[in-house]
Chains A and B, each alone.
Chain A
Amino acid sequence: MLSSPARRGTILIIVAGVSALLASLALAFLARMRSDTEESQHLLQYAQAKIMLAAACNYVQESSRLGWDRYPATPTVDGLQIHDEAYGWVDVRDGTTGPKGKRVSGTPGFSGPELADLSANKWPSVGTHVRCPMYRMKRPPYAIKLNAGHNYMVTDNPASPDYCWPLLKNRDPRPAQDVDNYPDFAAGDKTPVVDTTGKAWFRVYRDGPGTFIVTCGSGGSDGFKNWDELSATEQLQFNSDRPFFENLRNAEVRLHYRIEWSAAVTEVTYHNLQHEIARATEHYETWPPNASHTWSSSRRTQTWMKNPVGTIRTIQRLIIEPSFW
């Protein structure tokens, strides 16, 4: 039996209608999911950018005291570069602009020589910036293993000559990866781990001796402000493709802050470690023997209060992008 064309058409219309309905529902669903994903991606970027604020503050704090590469060359001893300890962005000895090193005997003033050429138009001079793309290195410099015990006591073999002896036979800490020599250990392997690049960055602009403008970013621009800022070599990183870079820049989250670093760290008063009484006697005493609330078995320590890198006194989110950062 043959069905009439009218009936075939009716079925076709019904099937097509139902299919169209389902397709439109599916499209609406997909569109909604895509929209949600994009919004979630923005949230993720924002969260990453805020994490960069913490990273930037840590960078400012730690680089206030850590040694610097020197211009034009870092001094070496036995082939190893020597990085003198610094005394803060604002030198704690006389308030001059740091980073400066140890005072040289016989020289005037209270502070030491500059650890970087602060008159040059390069970081860390006032009025310059440093750009810090954040990625995971294969092996950071001076990386050590996280194992807690490299010299555990032998307790399961009474026949061992080391049985129950607390011997320090092994180096502790140990390099994260066995390397042939100290320079390799010091240099690490800074090759980025795949899929960790182009995610987030921060950039620090020093606008005063102890004040900075921090820009936190989440995206692929690696902290370059705009295309004009890139050198020809740096443009290769973006295939020398300006629209490509600008797409990356426009798709990322950028947050701008002003921060102020201070050399001040949490004080150590007599009582601030009261809970260390007779519990942590391995540490040196900070409690004067004739001070109040002291008795013969009392020990006070400042172990938990160590902070050699200063504090961030204030943070201000900027409402608009500043002209210089």
Chain B
Amino acid sequence: MNRVPAAVAAFTLIEMMIAVALGSMVILVAMSGFRTASQTITVANRLSLENSMLRSGYFEAQMQLDFWTNLDDPTRPDTERPLKGDQSVGGKLNWPYQTDRRGLPFTPMKKLSDDGIWAKAGTVPRVSSPATLPDGSRGNWVMPRPLSEISLASWDLDRGWDPTFYWAPHDPRTWCRANMAEKLRDNGGIGNDGVDNLPKMISGRYAIFGNTSTTPLTLDNYNVRPDLNHIDPAQRQTIQAVSYSGYPGANIHSWYYNQLNSLVRAMGYAAFCEYLPANSIYTWYSNSGDRTAGGIDNLGIVPWYGFTNGDGDQRNSRGIYRNTYSCSYGYINPRSWDYGLTATPPLSGTPLNGDTLRQRYYQCYESDYGATENDGAKRLRWLLSHANHPEQLLDSRPSSWPEVQVSVGRIIKNAHHVAVAKVRRFSPLNGELIELSWTGLGTTLRGARQQRHQTIGWARWDNASGATLDPHLDTP
């Protein structure tokens, strides 16, 4: 019998078992390493995707802070820009001046003028071209006017929006000549109101110094009890009517009051505050409309009368701080949903539009202690959810991808113009929700309007001499 030589023999059983065991271990280790590496890559890709989405959300929020594209996309036709038109508020009940036309934050100044909301009038020329600076650049159009120019009678009679006007405190036409102690407190038409023992026109009738009208008027009678300390008690009750006719007279100051009277209807209450300088007093004596006995337009003094809040039942002239102390004005996202006051805002709905959207730009919202419960809390929630209306970063995405929502909300609160940016990332895999929230500094409404072409698209601007300057929304 022939024996097989040992040198050509195959594996022994033990060899093969060891080899298989070692091989299995090698393969197992390799597979484990590969699986771990794959999982690591998968997790890393996932984290990378989530972080990338978060970064994209951050950049989108920064773009919205600087370009206001969440409220108005200038590349779209007017039919898709709901904040660019103007019309009446459609006869809403309990709505001040409900038949007056009103504009919205992106209504062009030219349209506001053409439609009579803020009509241009007067003979003061607009600056036609800025001065060329020594370095050859085109200077700014916004220039303070010399004393010789602002002392002309025509200066105070100018009307409408002048984009080249530098609203300077030294300019007398920008001064508010109001009786800051004048109150709206009826008390049966009696001057001494009993509560504070002060007449509502303690310092006289300021309507005769400054008024929207420049022609003589007969002002409403004002009833006073002239001598509360008279020795004869009967005399203390004598009511005397005080009347004024033939006022305002010559050299009446009318520019400031007409600016306020028009601007309040031009772009909404938040824009009203943005376009006026910080030291403005929101009071104007008027010759028409709903007024106090002293002649102040109700919009500037009556508690809860559209623009004004009722905090502390305040009934006299206010500046930006008091107007926004207990309440806020805001910019409502036109794609936010239309619903009323509710404790639980819905998660979907149809967007605000038409009169309803317009009306929301002409009201104040409780945002302080009055907003801690009941309808006040609902009003605050309504404002915040509509100003910071979250929108999808991506119109469509794979279902496993994280969902990112972005919103930039703008409100005015306690005299501060606040832009709050929020970026939310929701993971459909594990339900994790992350929100970045910060207050950002960026373009203001006036800047955003100057970015936009008067018709469609972005407006070109450069300060090189001879560069093309497109008309923008603030071009009259």
Q: Which residues does chain A contribute within 8 Å of B325, judged by CB atoms?
A: 272
User: Quick one: given A316-B443, A324-B464, are A126 and B139 in contact (CB under 8 Å)?
Assistant: yes
**Quick one: given A127-B133, A290-B198, A292-B316, are A269 and B322 in contact (CB under 8 Å)?**
yes
Number of A interface residues in the complex (CB < 8 A): 74
Does B153 have its Cβ within 8 Å of any Cβ on chain A?
Answer: no
Task: Tell me the smallest distance from the CB of A9 to a CB of chain B, in Å.
Answer: 15
Which residues of chain A are near B48, meaning CB under 8 Å? 32-33, 35-36
A274 proximal to B (CB < 8 A)? yes
Inter-chain contacts of B137 with A (CB < 8 A):
127, 207, 323-324
Q: CB-nearest residue of chain A relative to B140?
A: A208
Q: Tell me how far the C-beta of B171 lies from the nearest C-beta in chain A, rounded to whole angstroms.
A: 7
Report whether B51 and A21 are in contact in the complex, using a CB–CB cutoff of 8 Å. no
Instruction: Report the separation of the CA atoms of residues A288 and B147 in the bound assembly, to the nearest whole angstrom.
Output: 33
**Residue ranges of B at the interface with A (Cβ–Cβ < 8 Å):** 15, 26, 30, 33-34, 37-38, 40-41, 44-45, 48, 51-52, 55, 58-59, 62, 66-67, 130, 133-137, 139-147, 150, 166-171, 180-181, 183, 196, 198, 202, 277-281, 312, 314, 316-322, 325, 415, 440-444, 446-448, 450-451, 458, 461-464, 467
Shortest CB distance B326–A (Å) = 10
Contact A127 B142 (CB under 8 A): no
Q: Hey, which chain B residues are within 8 Å of A294, CB to CB?
A: 196
A82 within 8 A of B: no
For A190-231 the 0/1 string (1 means CB < 8 A from B) is 000000000000000001111101000000000000000000
**Complex-state Cα separation, A211 to B444, whole angstroms:** 15
Q: Contacts A90-B168, A92-B170 known; A39 to B52 CB distance under 8 Å? A: yes
Given A93-B170, A264-B278, A290-B202: A29 in contact with B446 (beta carbons within 8 A): no
Q: Is A276 an interface residue (CB 8 A)?
A: no
Q: What's the least CB distance linking A14 to chain B, in Å?
A: 8
Q: How far is the CA of A267 from the CA of B59 in the complex (A)?
A: 36
A314 B146 Cβ-Cβ under 8 A: no
Interface residues as binary, A308-323 with B (CB distance below 8 Å gives 1, 0 otherwise) = 0001011111111011
Interface pair B147/A292, CB less than 8 Å apart: no
Contact of A263 among B133, B134, B145, B169 (CB under 8 A): B169
Cross-interface CB contact of B321 among A46, A92, A305, cutoff 8 Å: A305
A265 B279 Cβ-Cβ under 8 A: yes
Chain B residues with CB under 8 A of A96 = 144
* Docked pose: A90 CA to B166 CA in angstroms: 10
Chain A residues packing against B (C-beta within 8 Å): 1, 14, 18, 21-22, 25-26, 28-29, 32-33, 35-36, 39-40, 43, 46, 50, 53-54, 57, 90-97, 121, 126-128, 207-211, 213, 255, 257-258, 260, 262-272, 274, 288, 290-294, 305, 311, 313-320, 322-324
17 further contact pairs, Cβ within 8 A, besides A25-B38, A121-B134, A255-B66? A26-B37, A29-B37, A29-B41, A33-B48, A50-B442, A90-B170, A96-B144, A207-B133, A207-B139, A258-B447, A262-B168, A264-B279, A266-B279, A267-B321, A272-B318, A313-B167, A323-B464
CB distance from A248 to the nearest CB of B (A): 22
How far is A313 from B312 in the complex, measured between Cα atoms in Å? Answer: 29
- Nearest to B467 among chain A residues (CB) is A323
Q: In the bound complex, what is the Cα–Cα distance between A314 and B170 (angstroms)? A: 19
Is B321's CB under 8 angstroms from A266's CB?
yes
CA distance A14 to B33 in the complex (A): 14
Is there contact, CB below 8 Å, between A272 and B167?
A: no
Inter-chain contacts of B446 with A (CB < 8 A): 313-314, 316
Chain B residues, CB < 8 A from A305:
321
- Can you name the residue of chain B whose Cβ is closest to the Cβ of A270? B180
In the complex, the answer to whether A269 meets B33 with C-beta atoms within 8 Å is no
Complex CA gap A93/B147 in Å reads: 10
Please tell me if the beta carbons of B37 and A315 are within 8 angstroms of each other in the complex: no
> What residues of chain B lie closer than 8 Å to A28, measured between beta carbons?
41
Q: Please tell me which one of the listed residues A54, A211, A213, A292 contacts residue B196 in the complex, with CB atoms under 8 A apart.
A: A292
Report how far A91 CA is from B144 CA in the complex, Å: 10
Knowing A36-B48, A292-B196 touch, does A211 contact B140 (C-beta < 8 A)?
yes
